[in-house]
């Protein structure tokens, strides 16, 4: 069994609209993330916080998705990682920010094919998302205080690096320009 933590609790403060509900190809960003994870994972813990009520509607369309509310989302992303880690039951799980919506199924499979407690994709020399983690790390995340980051936890492990031909592992949506760029990239692929 494979699970995932989908991080969708943040403020989206650098885009003019709420980025997770921004449509790309007539589908909201959060649903793009859920579609790819649903093809690979048995269960997806979608961590919501800011504007959770609006996002719930889009998450409920996915039978494998389970909503986790992070009441402390204003404390930063690691608080959402912790909220998701508390749900993990599988031996391995992905962690993916919901604003990285177009990771390919092939990339997920390449990560799952590797052994190791931490498996990280890399494309053109740049590390990206998602990361694949061993259940042991969920315990370390839960035990860590909120001043930490996921990177603080993972630096104690040797990461298995997987070279992938997937530029979308490093294409997250932080700004309006990122949205325009990803729309253009998706249009090229669809042609």
Domains and CATH numbers, the chain: 2-190 (3.90.550.10)
Tens-place pLDDT, residues 17-38: 678 998 988 999 999 999 999 9
Beta bridge partners of 118: 133, 159
pLDDT band at 179 (very low <50, low <70, confident <90, very high): confident
Tens-place pLDDT, residues 115-129: 999 999 999 999 999
Q: Which phi and psi (to 5°) does residue 96 adopt? A: -135, 125
Encoded tokens for 65 = 């998705």
Closest CA to 24 of 191, 173, 179: 179
Tens-place pLDDT, residues 67-116: 999 999 999 899 999 999 999 999 999 999 999 999 999 999 999 999 99
Q: Is the pLDDT of residue 178 over 90?
A: no
Cα separation, 81 vs 180, whole angstroms: 28
Q: Supply the DSSP symbol for 51.
A: B
Cα separation, 90 vs 61, whole angstroms: 23
């Amino acid at each position: 069994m494979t699970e995932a933590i989908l991080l969708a609790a943040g403020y989206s403060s650098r885009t003019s609209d709420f980025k997770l509900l921004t449509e790309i190809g007539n589908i909201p960003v959060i649903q793009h993330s859920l579609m790819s994870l649903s093809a690979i994972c048995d269960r997806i813990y979608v961590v919501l916080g800011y504007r959770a009520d609006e996002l719930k509607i889009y998450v409920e369309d996915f039978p494998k998705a389970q909503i986790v509310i992070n009441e402390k989302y204003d404390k930063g992303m690691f608080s959402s990682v912790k909220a998701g880690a508390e749900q993990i039951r599988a031996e391995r799980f992905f962690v993916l920010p919901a604003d990285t919506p177009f990771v390919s199924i092939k990339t997920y499979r390449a990560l799952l094919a590797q052994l190791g407690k931490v498996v990280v994709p890399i494309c053109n020399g740049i590390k990206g998302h998602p990361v694949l983690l061993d259940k042991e790390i969920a315990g370390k995340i839960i035990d860590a205080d909120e001043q930490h980051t996921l990177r603080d936890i993972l630096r104690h492990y040797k990461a298995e690096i997987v070279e992938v031909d997937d530029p979308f592992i490093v294409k997250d949506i932080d700004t309006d320009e990122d949205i325009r760029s990803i729309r253009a990239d998706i249009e090229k692929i669809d042609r």
